[in-house]
Each structure stands twice: as C-alpha cells, then as structure tokens.
Amino acid sequence: MPGNTGPSGHADDLDIADRPLDNPAHQSHSPFDLSPGDVEDLWLQDTIHLSNLKTAAEFVKGLQGVTLDNPSLGMSDEALHRLWNPPHKTPPVVIDKVTRLAIDLYLENPLDTTYKTNCKAIQRFNSNIELLSYYKIKCLVANLTGVESVMHHMCINSCLAYTGPFMDLDACPVCSEPRYDQFYLGASSGRNKIPRKEFHTIPIGLQLQALYRSPESASLAHYLRNERYRIIADLE
C-alpha cells in the first residue's frame, strides 16, 4: 500500500526534507532546544560567560525599558516638548550679522569649549563684537530649527561612548584612557568634569519635524508619492 515510506518501507528512511513538518513525531530535536519560557533566561548575567556578550545583554535589557524622557538619553525638556507637540511655523526672529556669526561658529563645532575659545579669539581681534553665550546660541539655534543634538561623552580614542553600562565609568575599559580632562579635574579637586571627547546625535524625529515646518521641504518629502501617482495616471 503506497504511503510516506523510504526504500526499506519504513517512515524513518524518509529524507528530512520530505517529512511532514506538522507531525511532531517527524520533527528533529536538539539537546540545545529551549522552550519559549526559557528564552529570557539567556539574558541573565549568571548564564553568560563571555564579557562582550554580557555587555551586549546589558544594552539589550536597557533598551527594553527605555523611554524618551529617560535622563540617560540626554534629551532636554524643550526637545521633548517639541517632539510631543510638533511646531508648525518657524518663529519670527531678526538675525543681525553678529548673531549670524555666532550661529556659524556654533554649527561649525557645537562643542562648548571650542565655541568659547573661538569667541574669545574674535573679541581679542575686535572688543566691540559681543557674541551670544554658548547657552543662548544653543537655545536660539534650537528655537529656529526645532533641532538639537543629544550629547554623550566619548573615549578620546573613539573606543566607545559612555552610555548604557559604560555611563558611570571614569576611564575607557578598552584603552584605559581617562574620560575627563585631568588638568581641569585636578585643578578643581574633582568637581569640574570636562569630557575629553563628545559624541553628538541628532534625533531623526526632530529632523523630520523641521522639514515639515517648511512648505517647500514638506512638498519635497512627498515627491515619490506624487511621481508614483503621475506615472500610474499616464499608464491608465
């Protein structure tokens, strides 16, 4: 009688690709198979022995419960407000030449110490030029564009950013370089912690909101859709 059998007439002789997948008797089992309830146990620190995998597990667990208002993300209250309440118009602001100069200096390098150093150099050249403070120019650019960067400290050798499990470290676990400028740290008895390097991230949500604040850039965002409709109309 014909059936699902192999050359010897036994079902066990079937090629694995020919066995019905919906039959539990024909499914292969591995000693490493885990039941669904055991998957979360893979992230427990006492079940992981490789240091790199332990670090990855800490990042995964941190991302599972993260929220936009989590302080570790570094987003300001103003940025969160704009993200949750998208502005629809650019605020009217009169920008003179000196303010434009300050904006250019900030956009060229948003690092606090770099901006202040450049401002001092310009004021030595012409003491009549009064540039906005770093805080004021940062707020002005954020208000004009609706976009601001999220800053995290970074290893001087670019080994890593001090986020997640590295957030509270004072030295890089890879190259052992100190996180903070040791001169300022020593001069202030450990109070003035200036990072030796910073990493800036511009959230995509704020960028998209900024594009939609302008009618021109908002229309360009629909270019693909409009062209698709035009092509379909031509084909019909």
| Tens digit of each residue's pLDDT (9 = 90 or more) over 105-142 | 998 877 788 899 999 999 999 989 999 999 899 888 88
**Which tokens belong to 94?**
């009169």
CB 79 within 8 A of CB 142: yes
Helix boundaries (H) for the chain: 51-64, 77-84, 97-108, 112-125, 134-145, 182-187, 204-213, 215-221, 223-235
Each domain of the chain, given as residue ranges in start order, spans 11-63, 150-201
Q: Is the pLDDT of residue 218 over 90?
A: no
Q: What is the pLDDT of residue 1?
A: 47
Question: What local confidence, expressed as pLDDT, does residue 140 receive?
Answer: 87
Pair of tokens at residue 26: 């024909």
Q: Is 159 exposed, middle or buried (0-12, 13-18, 19+ CB in 10 A)?
A: middle
What's the chain's average pLDDT?
80
pLDDT of 14 reads: 47
Which whole-number Å values give the CA distances from 130 to 62, 108, 127, in the listed order? 44, 19, 8
Distance, in Å, from the CA atom of 42 to the CA atom of 50, rounded to the nearest integer, reads: 12
For the chain, percent of residues with pLDDT exceeding 90: 31
- Nearest Cα residue to 106 out of 118, 122, 95: 118
* Global confidence as pTM: 0.59
pLDDT at residue 133 in the model:
92
pLDDT at 236 over 90: no
